[in-house]
Amino acid sequence: MSLVRRSSDLLKPFTTAASTTSFLNSRRHFSTDDTTTITVETSVPFTGHNCEPPSRSVDTTPTELMKFFTDMALMRRMEIAADSLYKSKLIRGFCHLYDGQEAVCIGMEAAITKKDCIITAYRDHCIYLGRGGNLLQSFAELMGRQDGCSNGKGGSMHFYKKDACFFGGHGIVGAQVPLGCGLAFAQKYRKEDHVTFAMYGDGAANQGQLFEALNMAALWDLPAILVCENNHYGMGTAEWRAAKSPAYYKRGDYVPGLKVDGMDAFAVKQACKFAKEHALKNGPIILEMDTYRYHGHSMSDPGSTYRTRDEISGVRQERDPIERIRKLVLAHDLATEQQLKDIEKLARKEVDEAIAKAKESPMPAESELFTNVYRKGFGVESFGADRKELRATLP
């Protein structure tokens, strides 16, 4: 349990974490100010569809700026470590990495509460972390160990955190969107003041079920926010080869939309704040986050047969979300270059420690094969591969 606290310390402003004594002792204290307002301009203005876009000027605080940096550095480190673990075969099956897209989930979390729901597809590790998930449970799940967030039974594509209203973690492209509208349906049914962010990619954007659910969400004024993380490639297929209209923020037709620079955490924050206000009053809205994934679709995809290495390195140089925050932190004199490097080193250390601990976590007990088939099994029997050799009574 202490590890849970430890990780969430890392997601809080850095000076409150236990391991910051070196920082506090350093010659220069970096700002932990929660009260000073810094105004940041988004990289580009928002483009609205059937709505008046919000302002480019986003208010933030030194605390929030530092948190963005720290959190994104941790997420980046986690994904890169997962790459190595997959290559050393400690992670099996599918592994879809989020590095490059961190600003979307970080910006979103900054605008919402843990009572607002998030649901996404299979590129879910960082979203899980953003919702308050911890590194140990993340790596243990990836390696199929009992301390994983799904007890090792779900794997990379199936992370959940219900107590923080994170509903997974879904393997079938597009399915999470109607599910997200369903979460919004329940929120409205219960007259909650909360919204749901249903995340999907440019590949899923063409799924029919999305439009079916969107129609109903609009008809019934559900507080559903559809967030298209447009990283421009649906597995190996570029957006222009899959969509007649890749202007995903306009695809809702009668549903308003906003196009957002998804590599700019403050643009994302502003957009999500705007969307939440809209959804609570007027029903669904679509946010298109213009983002990019550095890795291929999954670890089985090199990611370079359908895009050039120049394109990938170009985005990394010009639009990297963490670099953007680094520049802002330095420009506002909130920390030194060295301090930021130290934060990244610490992130690396935290990730390494979590991996080491996750490796020690045992594989799930054999009896776990039969747990959680039902919430209530009524004592029904279930069977192993040889029904006369292995059977169980479901509780």
Where along the sequence are the contacts to another protein (CB under 8 A)? Answer: 92-94, 144-146, 150, 152-155, 157-158, 170-174, 203-204, 206-209, 234-237, 241-243, 305-306, 363-364, 366-370, 373, 382-392
> CB 377 → another protein: shortest distance, Å?
11
Return the number of the residue (89 or 309) whose C-beta is nearest another protein. 89
Q: What is the DSSP string of 100-162?
A: T-HHHHHHHHHHS-TTSEEE--S--HHHHHHTT--HHHHHHHHTT-TTSTTTTSS-TT---BG
C-alpha radius of gyration, the chain, whole number: 21
What does the alpha-carbon distance between residue 257 and residue 288 come to, in Å, rounded to a whole number? 7
Q: For residue 31, give the amino acid letter.
A: S
- Return the structure tokens found at 272: 């999500």
Return the number of the residue (146 or 336) whose C-beta is nearest another protein. 146
Return the number of the residue (163 or 366) whose C-beta is nearest another protein. 366
CA distances from 231 to 100, 180, 237 (A): 9, 20, 11
> CB 365 → another protein: shortest distance, Å?
9
Return the number of the residue (13 or 148) whose C-beta is nearest another protein. 148
> CB 155 → another protein: shortest distance, Å?
3
Cβ-contact 391, 379 below 8 angstroms: no
Return the number of the residue (189 or 374) whose C-beta is nearest another protein. 374
> CB 208 → another protein: shortest distance, Å?
6
> CB 246 → another protein: shortest distance, Å?
11
CA-based nearest residue to 125, from 116, 117, 134? 134
First CA to last CA across the chain, in angstroms? 27
Return the number of the residue (42 or 150) whose C-beta is nearest another protein. 150
> CB 205 → another protein: shortest distance, Å?
9
User: Where in 164-309 does DSSP place strands (E)?
Assistant: 196-201, 224-230, 233-234, 237-238, 257-261, 285-290
Q: For residue 380, give the amino acid letter.
A: V
